[in-house]
Structure 1
Amino acid sequence: MKLGLQLGYWGAAPPPNAPELVAAAEEFGFDAVFAAEAWGSDAFTPLAWWGSDTRRVRLGTSVVQMSARTPAACAMHALTLDHLSGGRFVLGLGVSGPQVVEGWYGRPFAKPLARTREYVSILRQVLAREAPVTNDGPHFPLPYQGPGSLGLGKPLRPITHPLRADLPIWLGAEGPKNVALTSEIADGWLAIYYAPRLAGMYDEWLDEGFAKSRQKGSTRSRENFEVAATCQVVVTDDPVSVRAQLKPFVALYIGGMGAPGMNFHAEVFTRMGYGEAVRDIGELFLSGRKEEAVQAVPDELVAEISIVGTAEHVREEIGRWEKAGVTMLLVGCRDMASIKAVAEACQ
């Protein structure tokens, strides 16, 4: 089982100890370090800044939001960081949700699957650098010839030669169609919430995508595909208290990180079998009763999506997650001692 340190996105200011965390992750054998973005800090700059002191760990985005930048601009970020890191960059993408896409980026959210397919296709073209990049799809037409166009657009290839045409592209996906698309066109799945109990269901979704990929002549399969699952891993003798500390984050994603009637995170937990709790949490959170929403998060839900307990328990659970198909755990350690404890439990 590989480990990835999830630095996440910033709050009101940068985390003061991020350089120490990145250094510790590399020292204690973590495979990768990831940065994220919401509607504040971006994900690329922290990796370039903090990653400049690393030599081994992969540097990934988990995730950058597709509506934040055009496919060509995203490819420029990716090939640049891949060169600067000596081929250690992993590009993790996500569609986000309508509140952020339309409210923050001012872009339409409709047809996220079709947009993702076009986006990744353009990225692949840029990284391959085999011909000038074109796209005749409706979402990211290249050259652009729509309203306001001067009709002078010219297909181009990147001036900079990408270091790797096969730079890994991972997708953050939650629903069955999105997960199937991920295994069809991407190199890895970033699962924000994962329950080993449902591995059979996830496998069905992934196998659908692999089958479509093979029909197009691809060699993509479970053997060369990564499943990176967000999972709080905490070595402790007091698991009850730690799980209680995790509940506010779960309540936020269920109740506050999506629009009423369209909350992809809430749907994940509904598919896990917590539909009644999801409804209660959502209603409480949206009515301003956030503390009650936190208390409504079931203990068993938190236990399913995290690994909390003694070193022996953690080691056993990591083995169970690995058997369920997970190849990397994305953990949110916030001090060096936690990084060391998790790394030792994985050995």
Structure 2
Amino acid sequence: MGREGHRFRGRVPWARTKETVEIIRAALRREVVGYSGHSFQLPLPAGQGTGLGRSLKMPAKPERSSVPLYVAALGPRSVESAAAYADGWLPFLYSPEGAARVWGGPLAAGAAERPEGLAPLEVVAGGMVAVGEDVKGMLDFARPMFALYIGGMSARGRNVYNDLACRYGYEAEAKEIQDLYLDGMKEVEAKVPLELLEQVNLVGPASYVKERIEAFRESGVTDLQVSPAGDDPAGYSPDTFRRAPREHSRPAAGEPAHRRPRRASEASWARPVRQAVPMAPVRSR
């Protein structure tokens, strides 16, 4: 549940999230599904459709009556709704350093409304993971995607990824990226801030990547979802980071503060990272 939300027009995303979760859970329990909500009416009320609709239940018997439902959301109300009703939340372009400031309020508000019988919210986040010394070169590999999302995903004033970059503190850069992208200017990729790329990805020596994993954990992430990149992305495993020594060359004075290990365990939703979930390997160009 996430990308399909881009295709709905004239409806309230946060209300649709709640209703979708409730309908799917009822269907999996093989209940006769009738629903009257803001976004969904099942069956259609009188005067809409053919008038022949009926409330139905799933004909097949699922192996499980409950399947974890994870919601991709970025806006405050949508994140609050995910925290209240979903099993998990899938944020995109997640920054451990910016998460509490951007989403702390909505997550706490949603948690306060969460039903008692629902397990604590899982938070699945990550980014590109690449191990090596050429940090800038590896981060440059991600620039086209960031330029696309911040600059080209929808029109001005309608781009949730651009809005997120602004909420992280990159208002001027986000506006410039969007203007250049929508005007078809090729130099747009170079305008993606290196600091933002560093925050939302896990790139550098193995020991530094290990500390970034810890930063994600301390900010509230329970599951890492990463896209391996680099010269040998298929060679990464949890042991790559377990073997990494604690000592490594830390950022020199004057480098961005987010490069240094940071505590964020005061987040009310923070819990230990459970596992790493690799996506398809991507080989650097």
Question: How far did residue 132 of structure 1 move?
Answer: 0.6
- Partner in structure 1 of residue 163 of structure 2: 267
Tell me how far apart the structure 1 counterparts of residues 60 and 231 of structure 2 sit (CA, whole Å): 38
- Partner in structure 2 of residue 72 of structure 1: none
SS in 1 for 2:9: coil
* 1:253 and 2:160 are equivalent in the alignment: no
* 1:295 and 2:190 are equivalent in the alignment: yes
SS in 1 for 2:53: coil
Question: How far did residue 198 of structure 1 move?
Answer: 2.1
Tell me how far apart the structure 2 counterparts of residues 258 and 137 of structure 1 sit (CA, whole Å): 27
Contact 2:173 2:193 in 1 (8 A): yes
Q: Which shifted more, 251-260 or 197-206? A: 197-206
Aligned length: 241
Q: TM-score, normalised by structure 1?
A: 0.65
Going from structure 1 to structure 2, the CA distance change for 1:147 and 1:323 (only over 3 Å counts) comes to: same
**Residue in structure 1 matching 2:207, options 297, 300, 312:** 312
Contact 1:210 1:220 in 2 (8 A): no
Contact 2:129 2:229 in 1 (8 A): no
SS in 1 for 2:117: coil
Question: How far did residue 155 of structure 1 move?
Answer: 1.3
Return the index of the structure with the highest Cα Rg: 2
Going from structure 1 to structure 2, the CA distance change for 1:210 and 1:320 (only over 3 Å counts) comes to: same
Going from structure 1 to structure 2, the CA distance change for 1:64 and 1:204 (only over 3 Å counts) comes to: closer
TM-align CA RMSD: 2.0
- Partner in structure 2 of residue 153 of structure 1: 53
The amino acid across from 2:192 in the alignment is V
* 1:199 and 2:67 are equivalent in the alignment: no
Contact 2:12 2:39 in 1 (8 A): no
Question: How far did residue 301 of structure 1 move?
Answer: 1.0
Contact 1:233 1:342 in 2 (8 A): no
- Partner in structure 2 of residue 169 of structure 1: 69
Which deviations, in whole Å up to 9, do the C-alpha atoms of 1:28-64 show, x marking residues without a partner?
A: xxxxxxxxxxxxxxxxxxxxxxxxxxxxxxxxxxx56
- Partner in structure 1 of residue 246 of structure 2: none
The amino acid across from 1:241 in the alignment is G
The amino acid across from 2:181 in the alignment is F
Q: TM-score, normalised by structure 2?
A: 0.78
Tell me how far apart the structure 2 counterparts of residues 301 and 143 of structure 1 sit (CA, whole Å): 46
Unaligned runs of 5+ in 2: 243-285
Going from structure 1 to structure 2, the CA distance change for 1:116 and 1:241 (only over 3 Å counts) comes to: same
The amino acid across from 1:293 in the alignment is V
- Partner in structure 1 of residue 279 of structure 2: none
More helix by share: 1
- Partner in structure 1 of residue 280 of structure 2: none
Going from structure 1 to structure 2, the CA distance change for 1:332 and 1:152 (only over 3 Å counts) comes to: same
Which deviations, in whole Å up to 9, do the C-alpha atoms of 1:264-314 show, x marking residues without a partner?
A: 01111111000000000000001100x311111111111111110111111
- Partner in structure 1 of residue 117 of structure 2: 219
Tell me how far apart the structure 1 counterparts of residues 44 and 241 of structure 2 sit (CA, whole Å): 50
Going from structure 1 to structure 2, the CA distance change for 1:281 and 1:179 (only over 3 Å counts) comes to: same
Contact 2:2 2:73 in 1 (8 A): no
Tell me how far apart the structure 1 counterparts of residues 3 and 58 of structure 2 sit (CA, whole Å): 22
Tell me how far apart the structure 2 counterparts of residues 164 and 245 of structure 1 sit (CA, whole Å): 41
**Residue in structure 1 matching 2:80, options 180, 199, 209:** 180
Unaligned runs of 5+ in 1: 1-62, 67-94, 102-106
Percent sequence identity over matched residues? 32
Contact 1:257 1:265 in 2 (8 A): yes
The amino acid across from 1:327 in the alignment is T
Q: How does 1:1-347 map to 2 (within 5 A)?
A: 65-66=3-4, 95-96=5-6, 101=7, 107-129=8-30, 131-145=31-45, 147=47, 149-201=49-101, 202-213=103-114, 217-220=115-118, 224-289=120-185, 291-333=186-228, 337-347=232-242
Tell me how far apart the structure 1 counterparts of residues 3 and 74 of structure 2 sit (CA, whole Å): 15
Question: How far did residue 146 of structure 1 move?
Answer: 5.2
Contact 1:190 1:230 in 2 (8 A): no
Going from structure 1 to structure 2, the CA distance change for 1:345 and 1:225 (only over 3 Å counts) comes to: farther
Contact 1:228 1:328 in 2 (8 A): yes
